[in-house]
């Protein structure tokens, strides 16, 4: 039996600020010089990286994050970039490998994942593609081996597995097929590498399952 890992696709922008002394009031960043909501660019220096080494760069308007939010590698190269509107993530957040190639991206709408999410292997091959509606998985989700061969195909509805899940051997042959009904598994078929059936399992009364898959 082949082993596979269901990759967790977490593409969220890291906006933590290390060693920053800041004052917040009612959720807004306050300028200590004026005691008013801050407007401008806030850069966070990581002293462990060396003098003037910027790790975070964030834009604020009237105390709320508004504009580009960037995270950098120690080398100074861009690691992530996202965009805020009045404190909420909007548009496409992107994550990069240190060599500058795209690691992944995800679309946001009012701080919720909404649209396409994609991740790549270091060799540039697509690793994962998912779609979101109001922060919930929706539609077809696919995962690939680093060779480019399809590994896993899932169907989601309102954040739940719904329909047929298919898991594949790296040579492209089907390994496993599971049918779901709004998150509940109903039947499962396991295949040998030659395509013949290795096992059948049901998640209901055995007679009902036998009538479905027998």
CATH number of the domain within which 101 lies: 2.20.110
**72 within some domain:** yes
> d(Cα 154, Cα 50) in Å, to the nearest integer?
46
Tens digit of pLDDT per residue, the chain (214 long)?
333 222 223 222 233 333 345 689 999 999 988 999 999 999 999 999 988 899 999 999 999 999 999 999 999 999 999 999 999 999 999 999 999 999 999 999 999 999 999 999 999 999 999 999 999 999 999 999 999 999 999 999 999 999 999 999 999 999 999 999 999 999 999 999 999 999 998 876 545 454 444 4
Domain that holds residue 125: 41-133
Residues 122 and 144 in one domain: no
Residues 46 and 99 in one domain: yes
Among 98, 133, 168, residue at a domain's last position: 133
pLDDT value of residue 21 = 54
What is the tally of structural domains in the chain?
2
pLDDT value of residue 87 = 96
Residues 205 and 191 in one domain: yes
Residues 67 and 86 in one domain: yes
**16 within some domain:** no
Among 100, 133, 166, residue at a domain's last position: 133
**48 within some domain:** yes
Residues 67 and 116 in one domain: yes
Provide the token pair at 72: 């950098």
Residues 152 and 85 in one domain: no
> d(Cα 128, Cα 6) in Å, to the nearest integer?
10
**2 within some domain:** no
3-state secondary structure the chain: CCCCCCCCCCCCCCCCCCCCCCEEECCEEEECCCCEECCEEEEEECHHHCCCCEEEEEEEECCEEEEEEEEECCCCCEEEEEEEECCEECEEEEEECCCCCEEEEEEEECCEEEEEEEEECCCCCEEEEEEEECCEECEEEEEECCCCCEEEEEEEECCEECEEEEEECCCCCEEEEEEEECCEEEEEEEECCCCCEEEEEECCCHHHHHHHHC
pLDDT tens digit sequence for 97-116: 999 999 999 999 999 999 99
Which long-range contacts does 154-160 make (Cβ < 8 Å, 24+ apart)?
155/180, 157/182, 158/182
Residue with tokens 């508004």: 66
- Of 164, 122, 163, 162, whose CA–CA distance to 146 is shortest? 122
pLDDT value of residue 205 = 52
Residues 115 and 169 in one domain: no
> d(Cα 44, Cα 93) in Å, to the nearest integer?
20
**33 within some domain:** no
């Amino acid at each position: 039996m082949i082993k596979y890992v269901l990759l967790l696709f977490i593409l969220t922008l890291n906006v933590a600020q290390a060693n920053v002394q800041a004052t917040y009031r009612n959720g807004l960043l306050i300028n200590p010089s004026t005691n008013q909501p801050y407007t401008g660019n806030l850069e966070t220096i990581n002293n462990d990286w060396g003098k003037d080494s910027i790790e975070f760069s964030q834009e604020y308007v009237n105390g709320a994050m508004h504009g580009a939010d960037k995270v950098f590698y120690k080398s100074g190269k861009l690691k992530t970039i996202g965009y805020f509107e009045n404190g909420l993530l909007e548009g496409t957040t992107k994550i990069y490998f240190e060599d500058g190639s795209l690691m992944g991206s995800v679309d946001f709408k009012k701080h919720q994942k909404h649209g396409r999410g994609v991740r790549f292997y270091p060799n540039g091959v697509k690793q994962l593609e998912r779609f979101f509606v109001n922060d919930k998985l929706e539609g077809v989700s696919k995962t690939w081996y680093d060779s480019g061969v399809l590994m896993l195909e899932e169907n989601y509805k309102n954040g739940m597995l719904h329909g047929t899940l298919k898991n594949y051997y790296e040579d492209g042959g089907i390994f496993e097929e599971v049918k779901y009904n709004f998150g509940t598994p109903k039947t499962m078929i396991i295949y040998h590498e030659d395509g013949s059936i290795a096992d059948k399992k049901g998640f209901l009364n055995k007679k009902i399952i036998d009538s479905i898959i027998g």
